[in-house]
Protein backbone atom coordinates (compact mmCIF):
# COMPACT_ATOMS: atom_id res chain seq x y z
CA UNK A 1 0.00 0.00 0.00
CA UNK A 2 2.96 2.28 0.34
CA UNK A 3 3.82 2.41 -3.35
CA UNK A 4 4.04 5.84 -4.92
CA UNK A 5 4.11 7.20 -8.44
CA UNK A 6 6.14 10.33 -9.33
CA UNK A 7 6.25 13.01 -12.01
CA UNK A 8 9.33 15.19 -12.55
CA UNK A 9 9.74 18.68 -13.97
CA UNK A 10 10.95 18.62 -17.56
CA UNK A 11 9.45 18.19 -21.00
CA UNK A 12 5.78 17.21 -21.26
CA UNK A 13 5.24 13.48 -20.92
CA UNK A 14 2.55 10.93 -20.18
CA UNK A 15 3.12 7.69 -18.33
CA UNK A 16 0.81 4.95 -17.13
CA UNK A 17 1.82 2.45 -14.44
CA UNK A 18 -0.17 0.18 -12.14
CA UNK A 19 -3.36 2.15 -12.41
CA UNK A 20 -1.81 5.59 -11.89
CA UNK A 21 -1.47 8.05 -14.75
CA UNK A 22 1.33 10.59 -14.38
CA UNK A 23 1.59 13.86 -16.35
CA UNK A 24 4.30 16.51 -16.29
CA UNK A 25 3.34 20.00 -17.44
CA UNK A 26 6.40 22.18 -16.88
CA UNK A 27 9.49 22.99 -18.92
CA UNK A 28 11.72 24.80 -16.43
CA UNK A 29 15.21 23.58 -15.57
CA UNK A 30 15.65 22.12 -12.11
CA UNK A 31 18.26 23.69 -9.87
CA UNK A 32 19.78 22.55 -6.60
CA UNK A 33 17.74 24.90 -4.40
CA UNK A 34 16.01 22.61 -1.82
CA UNK A 35 12.97 24.88 -1.80
CA UNK A 36 12.34 24.38 -5.53
CA UNK A 37 9.88 21.56 -6.37
CA UNK A 38 11.23 18.80 -8.58
CA UNK A 39 8.66 16.02 -8.31
CA UNK A 40 5.12 15.25 -7.23
CA UNK A 41 3.91 11.84 -6.08
CA UNK A 42 0.67 10.24 -4.91
CA UNK A 43 0.43 7.40 -2.40
CA UNK A 44 -1.48 4.34 -3.52
CA UNK A 45 -4.99 4.20 -2.09
CA UNK A 46 -5.48 1.83 0.87
CA UNK A 47 -8.72 0.42 -0.60
CA UNK A 48 -9.27 -0.63 -4.23
CA UNK A 49 -12.47 1.37 -4.79
CA UNK A 50 -14.86 4.03 -3.53
CA UNK A 51 -18.54 3.17 -3.14
CA UNK A 52 -21.31 5.18 -4.77
CA UNK A 53 -22.74 7.62 -2.23
CA UNK A 54 -19.66 7.42 -0.04
CA UNK A 55 -16.10 8.71 0.42
CA UNK A 56 -12.88 6.92 -0.34
CA UNK A 57 -11.96 5.01 2.85
CA UNK A 58 -9.19 2.87 4.27
CA UNK A 59 -9.51 -0.77 5.34
CA UNK A 60 -10.80 0.32 8.78
CA UNK A 61 -13.59 2.35 7.22
CA UNK A 62 -12.04 5.76 7.95
CA UNK A 63 -12.33 8.41 5.23
CA UNK A 64 -8.99 8.61 3.42
CA UNK A 65 -8.03 11.52 1.16
CA UNK A 66 -6.03 11.68 -2.01
CA UNK A 67 -2.51 12.41 -0.72
CA UNK A 68 0.24 14.09 -2.72
CA UNK A 69 3.83 14.93 -1.72
CA UNK A 70 6.10 17.55 -3.27
CA UNK A 71 9.85 16.79 -3.28
CA UNK A 72 12.96 18.76 -4.19
CA UNK A 73 15.77 17.58 -6.46
CA UNK A 74 17.39 15.69 -3.56
CA UNK A 75 14.18 13.85 -2.74
CA UNK A 76 13.45 15.85 0.38
CA UNK A 77 9.84 16.67 1.17
CA UNK A 78 8.79 20.31 0.75
CA UNK A 79 6.44 20.81 3.67
CA UNK A 80 3.27 22.89 3.39
CA UNK A 81 3.44 23.05 -0.41
CA UNK A 82 0.27 24.72 -1.78
CA UNK A 83 -1.35 21.63 -3.29
CA UNK A 84 -4.79 21.57 -4.86
CA UNK A 85 -6.96 18.61 -5.81
CA UNK A 86 -9.60 18.28 -8.49
CA UNK A 87 -11.73 15.74 -10.33
CA UNK A 88 -11.80 15.01 -14.06
CA UNK A 89 -15.33 13.54 -13.81
CA UNK A 90 -18.53 15.20 -12.58
CA UNK A 91 -19.53 11.97 -10.81
CA UNK A 92 -16.57 12.39 -8.44
CA UNK A 93 -16.44 15.29 -6.02
CA UNK A 94 -12.99 16.18 -4.67
CA UNK A 95 -12.31 18.67 -1.89
CA UNK A 96 -9.71 20.96 -3.43
CA UNK A 97 -7.92 21.50 -0.09
CA UNK A 98 -8.15 18.19 1.77
CA UNK A 99 -8.24 15.81 -1.19
CA UNK A 100 -11.22 13.84 0.12
CA UNK A 101 -13.03 12.02 -2.70
CA UNK A 102 -16.81 11.42 -2.82
CA UNK A 103 -18.59 9.34 -5.46
CA UNK A 104 -21.98 10.69 -6.55
CA UNK A 105 -22.64 7.90 -9.05
CA UNK A 106 -20.86 5.48 -11.36
CA UNK A 107 -18.79 7.52 -13.84
CA UNK A 108 -19.08 7.06 -17.59
CA UNK A 109 -15.41 6.07 -17.66
CA UNK A 110 -14.49 3.74 -14.82
CA UNK A 111 -11.96 4.15 -13.27
CA UNK A 112 -12.21 7.92 -13.27
CA UNK A 113 -9.33 10.36 -12.87
CA UNK A 114 -8.61 12.75 -10.04
CA UNK A 115 -5.65 15.12 -9.97
CA UNK A 116 -3.22 16.69 -7.52
CA UNK A 117 -1.61 19.93 -8.65
CA UNK A 118 1.23 22.12 -7.45
CA UNK A 119 0.68 25.61 -8.84
CA UNK A 120 1.13 25.43 -12.63
CA UNK A 121 4.37 23.45 -12.45
CA UNK A 122 3.38 19.89 -11.57
CA UNK A 123 0.29 17.75 -11.89
CA UNK A 124 -0.30 14.07 -11.28
CA UNK A 125 -3.37 12.02 -12.15
CA UNK A 126 -4.62 9.05 -10.14
CA UNK A 127 -7.33 6.62 -11.19
CA UNK A 128 -10.21 5.93 -8.81
CA UNK A 129 -12.45 2.93 -9.38
CA UNK A 130 -16.08 3.50 -8.36
CA UNK A 131 -18.36 0.60 -7.46
CA UNK A 132 -21.64 -0.14 -5.75
CA UNK A 133 -21.17 -1.13 -2.11
CA UNK A 134 -22.00 -4.76 -1.30
CA UNK A 135 -25.02 -5.45 0.85
CA UNK A 136 -24.67 -9.25 0.96
CA UNK A 137 -21.78 -11.71 1.03
CA UNK A 138 -22.56 -15.18 -0.35
CA UNK A 139 -20.87 -18.53 -0.29
CA UNK A 140 -20.40 -19.62 -3.88
CA UNK A 141 -21.98 -23.06 -3.68
CA UNK A 142 -25.45 -21.62 -3.20
CA UNK A 143 -27.31 -18.32 -3.37
CA UNK A 144 -29.25 -19.23 -0.22
CA UNK A 145 -28.54 -17.23 2.92
CA UNK A 146 -27.75 -17.60 5.73
CA UNK A 147 -25.94 -20.92 5.38
CA UNK A 148 -22.72 -21.64 7.18
CA UNK A 149 -20.88 -24.40 5.41
CA UNK A 150 -19.81 -25.19 1.87
CA UNK A 151 -18.10 -28.49 1.17
CA UNK A 152 -15.04 -29.22 -0.93
CA UNK A 153 -12.66 -32.18 -0.95
CA UNK A 154 -8.91 -31.80 -1.02
CA UNK A 155 -6.41 -34.49 -1.98
CA UNK A 156 -3.84 -35.97 0.37
CA UNK A 157 -0.62 -34.93 -1.38
CA UNK A 158 1.76 -32.49 0.29
CA UNK A 159 1.13 -28.85 -0.67
CA UNK A 160 -2.11 -29.71 -2.46
CA UNK A 161 -4.52 -26.79 -2.82
CA UNK A 162 -8.21 -26.09 -3.24
CA UNK A 163 -9.85 -22.71 -3.88
CA UNK A 164 -12.36 -21.17 -1.49
CA UNK A 165 -14.58 -18.38 -2.80
CA UNK A 166 -17.17 -15.82 -1.82
CA UNK A 167 -19.31 -13.56 -3.96
CA UNK A 168 -20.35 -9.99 -3.15
CA UNK A 169 -23.59 -8.54 -4.50
CA UNK A 170 -25.96 -5.61 -4.02
CA UNK A 171 -29.55 -4.81 -4.87
CA UNK A 172 -31.93 -1.86 -4.75
CA UNK A 173 -35.70 -1.46 -4.71
CA UNK A 174 -35.69 -1.47 -8.51
CA UNK A 175 -32.63 -3.60 -9.33
CA UNK A 176 -32.19 -7.31 -8.67
CA UNK A 177 -28.91 -8.62 -7.26
CA UNK A 178 -25.88 -7.31 -9.15
CA UNK A 179 -22.22 -8.23 -8.75
CA UNK A 180 -19.86 -5.94 -6.83
CA UNK A 181 -16.52 -5.26 -8.48
CA UNK A 182 -13.24 -4.07 -6.91
CA UNK A 183 -14.09 -4.78 -3.27
CA UNK A 184 -11.55 -6.11 -0.79
CA UNK A 185 -12.03 -9.50 0.91
CA UNK A 186 -9.70 -10.82 3.62
CA UNK A 187 -9.42 -14.58 4.12
CA UNK A 188 -8.00 -16.35 7.19
CA UNK A 189 -7.52 -19.96 8.29
CA UNK A 190 -9.34 -20.29 11.62
CA UNK A 191 -8.82 -24.07 11.98
CA UNK A 192 -6.16 -25.25 12.38
CA UNK A 193 -5.57 -21.73 13.68
CA UNK A 194 -3.34 -19.66 11.39
CA UNK A 195 -4.84 -16.17 11.14
CA UNK A 196 -1.42 -14.64 10.45
CA UNK A 197 -0.95 -16.99 7.47
CA UNK A 198 2.36 -18.40 8.66
CA UNK A 199 3.75 -20.34 5.68
CA UNK A 200 5.54 -22.74 8.03
CA UNK A 201 2.17 -23.98 9.31
CA UNK A 202 0.40 -27.12 8.14
CA UNK A 203 -2.32 -25.08 6.44
CA UNK A 204 -2.06 -21.59 4.90
CA UNK A 205 -3.47 -19.52 2.05
CA UNK A 206 -1.97 -18.71 -1.35
CA UNK A 207 -2.94 -16.55 -4.32
CA UNK A 208 -3.44 -17.70 -7.91
CA UNK A 209 0.33 -17.66 -8.44
CA UNK A 210 1.03 -19.85 -5.46
CA UNK A 211 2.35 -17.01 -3.30
CA UNK A 212 1.28 -16.65 0.31
CA UNK A 213 -1.62 -14.22 0.52
CA UNK A 214 -4.85 -13.59 2.40
CA UNK A 215 -6.38 -10.65 0.52
CA UNK A 216 -8.20 -10.63 -2.79
CA UNK A 217 -10.27 -8.05 -4.67
CA UNK A 218 -13.52 -9.03 -6.34
CA UNK A 219 -13.67 -9.15 -10.12
CA UNK A 220 -16.51 -8.05 -12.38
CA UNK A 221 -18.26 -11.33 -11.50
CA UNK A 222 -18.25 -10.37 -7.81
CA UNK A 223 -16.00 -13.27 -6.81
CA UNK A 224 -12.96 -13.19 -4.55
CA UNK A 225 -10.93 -16.28 -3.71
CA UNK A 226 -7.81 -17.70 -2.14
CA UNK A 227 -6.50 -21.26 -2.18
CA UNK A 228 -5.93 -23.43 0.86
CA UNK A 229 -2.56 -25.18 0.86
CA UNK A 230 -2.22 -28.19 3.15
CA UNK A 231 0.74 -30.41 4.01
CA UNK A 232 -0.74 -33.86 4.49
CA UNK A 233 2.29 -34.95 6.53
CA UNK A 234 1.07 -32.55 9.22
CA UNK A 235 -2.69 -32.34 8.70
CA UNK A 236 -4.78 -34.25 9.60
CA UNK A 237 -2.85 -35.08 12.75
CA UNK A 238 -1.35 -38.52 13.26
CA UNK A 239 -4.04 -41.09 13.91
CA UNK A 240 -6.83 -38.91 12.48
CA UNK A 241 -8.22 -40.12 9.16
CA UNK A 242 -10.49 -37.17 8.39
CA UNK A 243 -10.41 -33.58 9.61
CA UNK A 244 -11.82 -30.27 8.41
CA UNK A 245 -10.10 -26.99 7.59
CA UNK A 246 -12.16 -23.91 8.32
CA UNK A 247 -11.59 -20.64 6.45
CA UNK A 248 -13.19 -17.29 7.24
CA UNK A 249 -13.80 -14.59 4.62
CA UNK A 250 -14.23 -11.12 6.12
CA UNK A 251 -15.96 -8.36 4.14
CA UNK A 252 -16.22 -4.88 5.64
CA UNK A 253 -17.95 -1.63 4.74
CA UNK A 254 -17.40 1.57 6.72
CA UNK A 255 -15.72 -0.51 9.42
CA UNK A 256 -18.65 -2.93 9.85
CA UNK A 257 -19.19 -6.46 8.47
CA UNK A 258 -21.32 -6.69 5.34
CA UNK A 259 -24.48 -8.79 5.96
CA UNK A 260 -23.59 -12.46 5.50
CA UNK A 261 -19.99 -11.90 6.55
CA UNK A 262 -17.81 -13.26 7.87
CA UNK A 263 -18.45 -16.26 5.64
CA UNK A 264 -17.24 -19.60 7.01
CA UNK A 265 -16.11 -22.26 4.53
CA UNK A 266 -15.21 -25.80 5.65
CA UNK A 267 -12.90 -28.03 3.63
CA UNK A 268 -12.82 -31.75 4.60
CA UNK A 269 -9.38 -33.35 4.34
CA UNK A 270 -8.68 -37.09 4.30
CA UNK A 271 -5.43 -38.96 4.90
CA UNK A 272 -4.14 -41.49 2.31
CA UNK A 273 -5.90 -44.17 4.34
CA UNK A 274 -9.20 -42.42 3.64
CA UNK A 275 -9.62 -42.07 -0.13
CA UNK A 276 -10.72 -38.68 -1.37
CA UNK A 277 -11.09 -37.06 -4.77
CA UNK A 278 -7.49 -36.19 -5.81
The pLDDT of 236-253, averaged and rounded, is 90
Per DSSP, what are the bridge partners of residue 265? 247
Label the pairing between strands 50-51 and 130-131: parallel
Choose between 16 and 216: higher pLDDT. Answer: 216
Per DSSP, what are the bridge partners of residue 87? 114
Task: Determine the pLDDT at residue 144.
Answer: 33
Phi then psi for 142, rounded to 5 degrees? -160, 150
Task: Determine the pLDDT at residue 74.
Answer: 87
The pLDDT of 262-266, averaged and rounded, is 92
Distances (CA, A) of 182 to 34, 65, 94, 179, 193: 40, 18, 20, 10, 28
Q: Average pLDDT over the chain, rounded to whole?
A: 81
Residue 154's pLDDT band (boundaries 50, 70, 90)? Answer: low
- Count Cα neighbours of 128 within 13 Å in the Cβ-side half-sphere: 38
Q: Yes or no: say if 178 and 221 are a contact pair by the CB < 8 Å rule.
A: no
Closest CA to 8 of 98, 74, 67, 66: 74
Its pTM stands at: 0.79
Task: Determine the pLDDT at residue 18.
Answer: 28
- The predicted-structure confidence for 167-211, as pLDDT tens digits, reads as follows 999 987 777 889 999 999 999 999 999 999 999 999 999 998 889
Q: Yes or no: say if 209 and 161 are a contact pair by the CB < 8 Å rule.
A: no
What the chain holds in terms of domains, given with CATH numbers, is 4-131 (2.60.40.60), 136-270 (2.60.40.10)
How far apart CA 24 and CA 31 sit, in angstroms, is 17
Residue 8's pLDDT band (boundaries 50, 70, 90)? Answer: very low
Find the DSSP H helices in the chain: none
Q: Yes or no: say if 75 and 40 are a contact pair by the CB < 8 Å rule.
A: no
Percent of the chain beyond pLDDT 90? 54
Amino acid sequence: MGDVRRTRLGRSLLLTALGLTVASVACAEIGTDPSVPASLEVARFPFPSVAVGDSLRDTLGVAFPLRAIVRNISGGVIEDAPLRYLSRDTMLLVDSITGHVFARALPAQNPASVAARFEQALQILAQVRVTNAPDTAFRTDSASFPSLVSEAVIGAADSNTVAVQVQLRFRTDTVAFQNVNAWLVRFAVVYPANRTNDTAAAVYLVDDRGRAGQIDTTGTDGFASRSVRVRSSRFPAAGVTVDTIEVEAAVMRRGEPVPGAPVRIRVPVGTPATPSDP
